[in-house]
Chain A
Amino acid sequence: MTENATVKNEVFSLDGVNVHYGNSLAVKDVSFPIYENEITALIGPSGCGKSTILRSLNRMNDLIPGAKVSGDVMYHGADIYADEVDPVQVRKIIGMVFQKPNPFPKSIYENVAFGPQTLGMKGNMDDIVEEALVGAALWDEVKDRLKDNAFGMSGGQQQRLCIARTIAVKPDVILMDEPCSALDPVSTYKIEDLMMKLKKDYTIVIVTHNMQQAARVADRTAFFTVSSNDEEGSRTGVLVEFDETSKIFSNPADQRTQDYVTGRFG
């Protein structure tokens, strides 16, 4: 891991990150790096805070009232929670794909064009839309029905449309929050295949419940778990281990990781 770290560019570097929701501590003291043009998977049982950490990477947590992030979330060496940083700009550079496909109630074309149009991106909009749809491996399926409503697509197509929408605004990082949990195996395979292609141009962080998925696509994996304090009745997510995916699944350093990846709990 150390030898790779010197070669690879660090896109994110998390150091002592805590996330509070109101008065309860949701995730405690998380530190790990995310490298350029890699897929980093966040795995762990429900409530371990993996989605919370993912949402703290592009300040989507700001939308939840009472959410507060402390510690350092450094993006290329700059703190994205610094006072002078505009969260809107952060989200433009760091895109996000959600668990449930959430296309806009508009045509396929408008779904992709919404971001570039609203942000006032220059260039021919038809070209931008085509490029994004090609990039999301969706163009051949939809090129003849760009004017159709996006709700008429299959779940897998909708999710790839959401990916197309995200890459249309040319982000640097794509965050994916369990992007395949609502999809069938064939659609899941297509998305995974797409992710492998996308990582050439983007840095990808994915939260997944599916350990096989993490093993298949991720270069590195962070394993989180829940530490419950029965006296206070609180449940806090903690990072157990971060390493190359092969190591996490074959030879983890921590017994809890071992138990989880071999299916003994979670």
Chain B
Amino acid sequence: MAMADAPKRSKAAMKAAASMTESLSGNADKSLKIRGMVFRSLLLFSMTIALIAIVAIISWAVVEGGQRLSWGLITNNPSSFRPETAGYRPAILGSIQIIAGVITLILPLGVGAALYLEQFANKERWYNKLIELNIQNLAGVPSIVFGILGLAFIVRGPLDLGFVAAAGSMTIALLVLPTVILSSREAIKAVPSSLLEGAMALGVTRWQAVWKMVLPAAAPGMLTGVILAVARAIGEAAPLLLVGASTFVTFDPNFWQDGYSALPVMIFQYAGRPQDEFKVLAAAGVIVMLGVVVIVNSVAVWLRARYERSW
């Protein structure tokens, strides 16, 4: 009996308490309440705009390009005359080569620079402060500037590689390197100093303690940063246009030989043509690229969730 009564009674008690609070706070706070609601709807509005943009892009791409989704889209060579069967094969291969090169470059360089700045550099020294400031600023430099840099120093100039995928790789690597360094530094900072101290108190060198304790602990965070940088690199078109990806290639690219393209550049190529079939092709390309980016980002999210550690 008592058990059955209990919920009823507590329900009544809660009702009474609620009406009590309402009568206490009701009128006095009315203007505050309105202000709160206005503020909240402003926030909601901002979020909606962002959401609408994403939904619009995705639905446009799917509606426009959905009809062209097939394996042929990925495996067929491009063509200026037969848009119905043209595909993205060399562009996708070019993008894969570029990204592979980017990863090989930014992993050691980004992690190395971050380790130096966080663990070995004397932060009091002016040149280390200058380096820090520069890296932060570099992360905000427009990508086209890196394209010009790549053209002047990698395609021509000292390296003189020509318009090859390797040059595209290096240019994109330079572009994303600052963000990789910054995210790697955050990952290293997240490792508690007690880990380093604990190791060093055993009489191992700083290098041994960093290499065997700090680096493994920071690795998942660093990897997440690298993957996000790669996701950005996949979508970069502007700097690649300057370092040779703008040519319309119909053959499989070789990393070191002239002539290559990349997925975003190819989309740009197709989208600029007057025939409607090419616009459809461009939209289908967008779907492919969005798919790749979603997959890459998901891996990053999964990694972060999988290896997240609370110290």
Contact = CB atoms under 8 A, between A and B. Distances in A.
Interface in A53-96: 58, 60, 63, 65-66, 88-93, 95-96
A96 B194 CA distance: 12
A105 B204 contact: no
A169 B195 CA distance: 17
Q: Contact size class for A?
A: 20 to 34
A98 B203 contact: no
B309 interface: yes
Interface stretch (B7-15, B44-52, B205-213, B260-268): B205-213
Nearest to B124: A65
B149 interface: no
B198 A162 contact: yes
B59 interface: no
B194 A165 contact: no
Interface string A90-116: 111101111010111100000000110
A169 B198 CA distance: 13
Contact of B199 (A58, A65, A104, A171): A104
A118 interface: yes
B44 to A, nearest CB: 41
B203 A92 contact: yes
Contact of A60 (B122, B123, B192, B197): B197
Most chain B CB neighbours (cut-off 10 Å) among A102, A103, A104: A102
A91 B212 contact: no
A166 B198 CA distance: 9
B201 interface: yes
Contacts of A98: 194, 197-198, 201
Nearest to B196: A63
Given A102-B195, A105-B309, A162-B198, A115 B217 contact: no
B202 A65 contact: no
A171 B201 CA distance: 11
Contacts of B231: none
Nearest to B123: A65
Contacts of A169: 202-203
Interface in B144-199: 192, 194-199
A115 B200 contact: no
Contact of A91 (B194, B201, B309): B201
Contacts of B203: 88-93, 95, 115, 119, 169, 171
A65 to B, nearest CB: 6
B129 to A, nearest CB: 13
Contacts of B194: 98, 100, 102
Nearest to A89: B203
Given A65-B122, A65-B123, A104 B202 contact: no
A73 B226 CA distance: 46
A104 B201 contact: no
Contacts of A104: 195, 198-199, 213
A91 to B, nearest CB: 4
A107 to B, nearest CB: 13
Given A66-B124, A114-B212, A91 B202 contact: yes
A87 to B, nearest CB: 9
A149 to B, nearest CB: 11
Contacts of B195: 102, 104-105
A119 B202 CA distance: 9
B202 A95 contact: yes
Nearest to A115: B202
A86 to B, nearest CB: 9
Contacts of A162: 198
B203 to A, nearest CB: 3
A98 B195 CA distance: 11
B216 to A, nearest CB: 8
B197 A92 contact: no
Contacts of B197: 60, 63, 98, 102
18 contacts: A60-B200, A63-B200, A65-B124, A88-B204, A90-B203, A91-B200, A91-B201, A92-B202, A96-B201, A98-B201, A105-B216, A114-B199, A115-B202, A115-B204, A118-B202, A119-B202, A119-B203, A165-B202
Interface of B: 122-124, 192, 194-205, 208, 212-213, 216-217, 309
Given A88-B203, A92-B203, A118-B204, 5 more contacts: A91-B202, A103-B198, A104-B199, A105-B217, A118-B208
Which 6 A-B pairs rank lowest in CB-CB distance, beginning with the nearest?
Answer: A92-B203, A115-B202, A102-B194, A96-B201, A102-B198, A91-B203
